[in-house]
Amino acid sequence: MQKGQIRVETENIFPIIKKFLYSDHEIFLRELVSNAVDASQKLKTLASNGEPTGDISDMRIDIVLDATEKTLSVIDRGVGMTQDEVDKYINQVAFSGAEEFMNKYKDANIIGHFGLGFYSSFMVSDKVEMYTKSYKDESGVYWSCDGSPEFELYAVDKADRGTKIVMHINEDSKEFLEADRIGKMLEKFCKFLPVPIFYEDKQINNTNPIWTKKPADLTTEDYQNFYKELYPYSETPLFWIHLNVDYPFNLTGVLYFPKIKQSYEIQKDKIQLYSNQVFVTDEVKEIVPEFLMLMHGVIDSPDIPLNVSRSYLQGDPNVKKINSYITKKVADKLEEIFRNERPAFEEKWESLGLFVKYGMMTDDKFLEKANKFLVMQDAVSGTFYTLEEYKLATEVLQKNKEGKQVILYTTDMVQQDAYLQACAAKDYKVIKLDTLIDAAFISNMEMKWEGVHFVRVDADIVDNLIDKQEHDASVLSKEEEEKLKELFTPETKAVNVTVEIKGLSADTAPVIATRPEFMRRMKDMGAAGGGMAAFYANMPDEVTLTVNGNHPLYQTLLKEENADKQQKQVKTLADLALLSQGLLKGNDLTAFINRSVDLMQA
Ligand SMILES: Nc1ncnc2c1ncn2[C@@H]1O[C@H](COP(=O)(O)OP(=O)(O)OP(=O)(O)O)[C@@H](O)[C@H]1O
């Protein structure tokens, strides 16, 4: 029997392990089960290289909880260890003194590994025992340590090849003696490990998750079933991307595009990160580009550094490469579906549009590709245009005097109906941009797309939406125009009204209220919050009242001798225009209703 004394330089490592190394104590189980998996995999590799390993068909790992004895054991049938190996792999690292130990694990070599592995068992145990027998023809070995600077190591009889680790769970960690707790931890960390894992007489893992298989061997159903396995309560995903790369880094996985509802925020953080089928985290912020965080699925890469700080991760070259690889894959897949199955692509646009627009705003590489498959839907006909197609369809009618293409859009088809109709009469093509992200998307694309200008349908009277600088002359005299302007200028300051008299065609409405694009966008952004938001949000609404001097109504109105009646008529006309913009509220609305009744009685 070998009895050892730790070569203490400062103090032993166990207090350090307990206190500092993992705030998350439950990972000890992941570490031990991963070791058991590694040992099993190693044996398989040896066998396939022709080494005499004996029968390897019974490969399995058992997790056994004994609440009465207060022990939790992890048992494998892997390579096992000889006494020399235990001394080398278990003793020397752990007992080489705290300082050296910490240095070793701070070392860059650790990147790519989980970290402390075996020693993390001391976070939850008073004592850890190990029974192990190597596949090599040597005696079994017993090792134990109670966290003090002493260990025991001696030969024992052990019939089966493999390793059994028995943890004597400490007082502070009693939660790990609850069967449910262990079941949940296994479910979280071990669900897709490659060796069968048994707990309470049941196999708890799927050893061949689909991301480890070849896409050619998988059916649509396989992908959908796997999605259900990951997210039992979710709707069928729209489509998926199978990731598979082995150079210059290793990465496999399946990413799904979920159906997105209005409340898309709550669906974030659904991607799970694995390393060789061991669950690592579902916080993949730095690894997956921000705009793809709405996707679901699994990424598996042994090349992602897992044990370093988040800020380090951002600068990691592998992480950067993985990031751009995923972005490219997603863009390629979207383009492929767009080209080969455009009707299906358009049908799913409501959900897809969100990813695409978000991606175009935040990632220039993605933008470049997405310019080809971003689609915009005509509010009236429902037709989808790409940017190029829209430009072509509106080339003649919707170019302004500077040669810019004007993209007309509506954010609310019901409220902006009158403006939509006016545009339709001119044969303008108005697209629907009514999702949460669109306001930001519009301003962003105006900076990125050359020669394009977005204008909301109610930003100006229809004749001015596309600024071509051609107007009919007004039939009114200068004095008449001044008079009208005065009549239309309101006393109320709740809304900032600018009045202008224009000579429009006689069949255009007598007064049109519009909201200048710039101020309206600022106010919309203000309402959404952030930055200068509060300032703009508190500004009064800006409205332009365009009075159509050519409307026949003014011929009689200007001749009206009853000043009171004249003022009432003018106010009613102005209110009708404001009403169409949803800007007539409270007192003003009541006054309008009363006045209308008065006018009818007059
Ligand atoms: N169940 C086991 N069967 C066989 N050998 C084992 C087992 N558990 C641990 N070992 C040996 O002990 C060594 C140290 O294990 P430890 O978990 O501390 O680190 P590791 O697995 O090498 O790295 P990691 O930090 O990624 O866990 C292993 O490399 C392996 O050689």
List, in order, residues 6 or more apart from 249 with CB less than 8 Å away. 301, 303, 318, 321, 322
pLDDT for 330 = 92
Asked if 24 and 110 sit in the same domain, the reply is yes
Give a yes or no: residue 265 inside a domain.
yes
Residue nearest ligand 1's atom 9 by CA:
35
81 lines ligand 1 (CB under 6 A): yes
Residue holding tokens 């065609």?
A: 505
Give the burial class of 247: count Cβ atoms within 10 A of its Cβ; 0-12 exposed, 13-18 middle, 19 or more buried: exposed
Question: Where residue 384 sits, what CATH number does that domain have?
Answer: 3.40.50.11260
Return d(Cα 7, Cα 97) in angstroms, integer: 6
| Residue 256 · residue 234 · CB < 8 Å | no
Can you name the residues that pair with 300 across neighbouring β-strands? 252, 274
d(CA 251, CA 302): 7
Residue 483 CA from chain centroid, whole number? 57
| pLDDT for the residue numbered 528 | 66
CA 450, CA 406: separation in Å to the nearest integer? Answer: 11
ipTM over 0.95: yes
In whole angstroms, give the CA distance from residue 137 to residue 53.
Answer: 10
Mapped to the 3 state alphabet, what secondary structure does 102-123 carry? Answer: HHHHHCHHHECECCCHHHHHHH
Q: What is the rounded CA–CA span in Å between residue 136 and residue 85?
A: 12
* Same-domain status, 260 and 119: no
Integer Cα distance of 268 and 485 in angstroms: 53
Q: Give strand pairing partners of 150.
A: 5
Task: Answer whether 195's CB lies under 8 Å from 278's CB.
Answer: no
Greatest mean pLDDT among 98-107, 126-135, 530-539, 560-569 lies in: 126-135
Average pLDDT along the chain: 84
Helices (H), 113-253: 179-190, 220-230
The better pLDDT of the pair 545, 92 is held by 545
The closest residue, in CA terms, to atom 8 on ligand 1 is 35
Question: Which two tokens mark 248?
Answer: 């210059």
Q: Write a three-state SS string for 83-109.
A: HHHHHHHHHHHHCCCHHHHHHHHHCHH
> What integer pLDDT is reported at residue 360 of this predicted model?
94
Any known ligand binding at 281? Answer: no
Separation between Cα atoms, residue 468 and residue 491, nearest integer Å: 33
Helix-helix angle 517-528:438-448, to 10 degrees: 130
Residue 50 structure tokens? 């022709």
Which range among 39-43, 214-218, 279-283 shows the weakest confidence by mean pLDDT? 279-283
Q: Are strands 296-300 and 452-456 parallel, antiparallel or unpaired?
A: unpaired
Q: Total structural domains in the chain? A: 4
In a domain? residue 501: yes
Q: pLDDT band for 9, please (50, 70, 90 cuts).
A: very low
Cα–Cα distance for residue pair 105/507, rounded to 1 Å: 81
CA of 280 to the centre of ligand 1 (A): 18
Does 340 show up as a binding residue in the annotation?
A: no
Its domain, for residue 243, covers: 210-340
In a domain, 67, yes or no: yes
Could you tell me the distance, in angstroms and rounded to a whole number, from the CA of residue 38 to the centre of ligand 1? Answer: 8
- The residue out of 203, 233, 263 marking a domain boundary is 203
Q: Is the CB of 134 under 6 A from ligand 1?
A: no
Q: Which pLDDT does position 62 carry in this prediction?
A: 98
* Cβ neighbours of 472 (radius 10 Å): 15
Whether the bond between 258 and the residue before it is cis, its omega within 30 degrees of 0, is no
| pLDDT score at 19 | 56
Predicted local confidence at residue 579, as pLDDT: 85
Residue 3 CA to ligand 1 center (angstroms) comes to 22
Average pLDDT over residues 552-559: 89
Q: pLDDT band at 266, cuts 50/70/90?
A: low
Mark which of 188, 203, 218 sits at the end of a domain. Answer: 203
For ligand 1, atom 26: residue with the closest CA: 113
Residue 436's pLDDT is 77
Asked whether 118 and 199 are in contact (CB, 8 A), the reply is: no
| d(C-alpha 80, C-alpha 387), whole Å | 63
Shortest-distance atom of ligand 1 to CA 79: 4
Q: Say whether both 151 and 233 belong to one domain.
A: no
pLDDT at 103 over 70: no
Judgement on whether residues 174 and 29 belong to the same structural domain of the protein: yes
Domain identity same for 174 and 221 = no
Contact criterion met (CB below 8 Å) for 101 and 116: no
**Looking at 91-100, 431-440, 480-489, 500-509, which range is the least confident one?**
91-100
CATH of the domain at 559: 1.20.120.790
User: Stretch 501-522: mean pLDDT, rounded?
Assistant: 81
Inform me whether the pLDDT recorded for 126 exceeds 60.
yes
pLDDT at position 471 over 70: no
Query: How much distance in Å is there from the Cα of 116 to the middle of ligand 1?
Result: 9
Residue 520 within a domain: no
| 455 lies in the same domain as 509 | no
Mutate to test the pocket of ligand 1, among 89, 116, 129, 145 (most ligand atoms within 8 A of CB): 89
Q: Per mean pLDDT, which range of 88-97, 105-114, 256-265, 299-308 is the poorest?
A: 105-114
- The answer to whether residue 524 is domain-embedded is no
Average pLDDT over residues 179-185: 96
Same domain, 385 and 280: no
145 close to 127: Cβ distance less than 8 angstroms: yes
Mark whether 66 and 167 lie in a shared domain.
Answer: yes
Return the top range by mean pLDDT from 244-248, 506-510, 558-562: 558-562
**Å from CA of 94 to ligand 1 middle:** 12
Each residue's pLDDT tens digit, 325-338? 999 999 999 999 99
Asked, for residue 129, whether it belongs to a domain, the answer is yes
How far does the centroid of ligand 1 lie from the alpha carbon of residue 56, in Å? 20
| CATH code where residue 295 lies | 3.30.230.80
Q: Is the CB of 196 under 6 A from ligand 1?
A: no
Residue that the structure tokens 């009693």 belong to: 174
Nearest protein Cα to ligand 1, atom 29? 89
pLDDT band at 186 (very low <50, low <70, confident <90, very high): very high
CA 110 to ligand 1: nearest atom: 25
Ligand 1 atom showing the smallest separation from residue 115 Cα: 25
| 205 vs 584: CA distance, rounded Å | 63
Last residue of a domain, one of 282, 308, 340: 340
- Please compute the mean of the pLDDT values over residues 375-379 and round it to a whole number: 96
Asked whether the whole model's pTM tops 0.90, one would answer: no
Tokens of 396: 């003649």
Provide the β-strand partners of residue 73.
64, 166
Residues 24, 102, single domain; the answer is: yes
Q: Which residue has the higher pLDDT, 463 or 160?
A: 160
Establish if 43 belongs to a structural domain: yes
Rounded distance from Cα 118 to ligand 1 centre (Å): 6
Looking at the domain assignment, is residue 400 inside a domain? yes
Residue with the two structure tokens 């125009």: 481
Residue 76 marked ligand-binding: yes
Question: 272-275: long-range contacts at Cβ-Cβ below 8 A with a sequence spacing of 24 or more?
Answer: 272/230, 272/297, 272/298, 272/299, 273/298, 273/299, 273/300, 273/301, 273/304, 274/192, 274/298, 274/299, 274/300, 274/301, 275/114, 275/300, 275/301, 275/302, 275/304, 275/306
Is the same domain home to 162 and 86? yes
List, for residues 294-319, the tens digit of each pLDDT value: 889 999 988 876 654 555 566 677 77
Instruction: Tell me the sheet residues that pair with 467.
Output: none
Q: Does the annotation place 163 within a ligand binding site?
A: yes
Tell me the CA–centroid distance for residue 135 and ligand 1, in Å.
Answer: 16
pLDDT of residue 113: 42
Name every residue whose Cβ is closer than 8 Å to that of residue 405 and which is 6 or more positions away in sequence.
390, 391, 394, 395, 398, 399, 451, 452, 453
Q: In what order do the strands lie in the sheet with 296-300?
A: 239-245, 251-257, 296-300, 270-275, 278-281
Which residue owns the Cα nearest ligand 1 atom 12?
A: 89
Considering the domain architecture, whether residues 252 and 196 belong to the same structural domain is answered as no
Q: Which of 100-104, 270-274, 388-392, 580-584 has the lowest mean pLDDT?
A: 100-104
CA distance 304 to 512: 60
What does the pLDDT read at residue 116? 63
The pLDDT assigned to 181 comes to: 96
Cβ 117 under 6 angstroms from ligand 1:
yes
- With the most atoms of ligand 1 within 8 angstroms of its CB, the residue from 17, 35, 158 to mutate is 35
Percent of the chain at pLDDT exceeding 70: 85
Tell whether 167 and 108 lie within a shared domain. yes
The average pLDDT across 317-325 equals: 82
